[in-house]
A and B are shown apart, each in its own frame.
Chain A
């Protein structure tokens, strides 16, 4: 009897250890920062009326919204630390789903980072800001996200997306 209990406890412990051994696989941080995925999200998602505020689940830090700290004042340039924090925000949104997507090499798109910006109108999910991207090769924002999640961030598309819809000063 004692041996049976010991075996059961051992199995239980092993199964617990297995639970914590999930290995994540995320799109890379360097591509997020250097290839302007962060810049695109700062401009298009990170204003203070959207994801640039502490109340949002997906926080985006930048010169144009929430600051990571106030060392550089309110309007200083977006810092490297803020871009790193943006990366952590994005991969932390649904880490398991992002891992599955990354491993799927383009086949798995059923996760929030892709569904939210489409809004319900674009066959995604409800987004308070409405549909802000279209699942199309002609939308540089969509291509920027897709390229980063599945392969290597397409810097040209990300920069195009960052400046798209950016009106000049009045």
Chain B
């Protein structure tokens, strides 16, 4: 009995309550179920990283590109290019799926922070460079989000605090 109790305590201490709560707040799975197009706009690496419920498919980086700053339509076929502080990027080309999602499998890129990102269309048309570097957080939607921004904030306050979602178009 004592052993069982000790095991339970150990198991409980292994989980990360902050992460668990953030995952719970993501809500239900999308209708299509897990796959490249599920849960667009959400913080991908919450689950797809060591210790997460999708740790069997870990990502080096991931996110979602939309067609407009505030709409829900994903931008498909956009190439997402990365370059990190060591001058490297993913081994394989990264292109958004029909939902606008993109992801870099962990095995494709050993990231040396910080890194930069640019969105390209066609062969080499740069449609949206990122001004800032990414210094720590490889889940792009962690910063680029609209869904959990408090609606009580004024437009100016939103602009001041948040980048908004990633979209494949000129700044507005």
Using a CB–CB cutoff of 8 Å, the interface residues on chain A facing chain B are 43-45, 47-50, 52-54, 63-70, 73-75, 128-130, 165-170
Contact = CB atoms under 8 A, between A and B. Distances in A.
Given A75-B171, A167-B84, A168-B116, A66 B131 contact: no
A112 B71 CA distance: 42
Nearest to B126: A169
B116 A169 contact: yes
A169 B129 CA distance: 7
Interface string B73-104: 00000000111110101000000000000000
A129 B113 CA distance: 10
Contacts of A74: 159, 163-164, 171
B115 interface: yes
Contacts, number: 83
Interface in B150-172: 155-157, 159-164, 171
Contacts of A129: 135-136
B134 interface: yes
A47 B116 contact: no
A50 B136 contact: yes
20 contacts: A47-B133, A47-B135, A48-B143, A49-B134, A49-B135, A49-B136, A53-B161, A63-B131, A64-B131, A64-B132, A66-B160, A73-B159, A75-B171, A130-B136, A166-B114, A167-B85, A168-B83, A169-B83, A169-B129, A170-B118
A68 B133 contact: no
Interface residues of B, number: 34
B163 A167 contact: no
B140 to A, nearest CB: 9
Contacts of A70: 155-157, 159-160
Contacts of A53: 161
Sorted from nearest, which 10 A-B pairs have the closest CB atoms?
A: A49-B137, A170-B81, A64-B132, A70-B159, A170-B83, A165-B85, A47-B135, A70-B156, A67-B160, A48-B143
B109 interface: no
A165 B132 contact: no
B126 to A, nearest CB: 8
Contacts of B115: 167
A170 B134 CA distance: 13
A127 to B, nearest CB: 10
A166 B156 contact: no
A129 B89 CA distance: 20
Given A167-B85, A170-B82, A170-B89, A68 B114 contact: no
A69 B116 CA distance: 25
B132 A167 contact: no
A129 to B, nearest CB: 5
Contacts of A45: 135
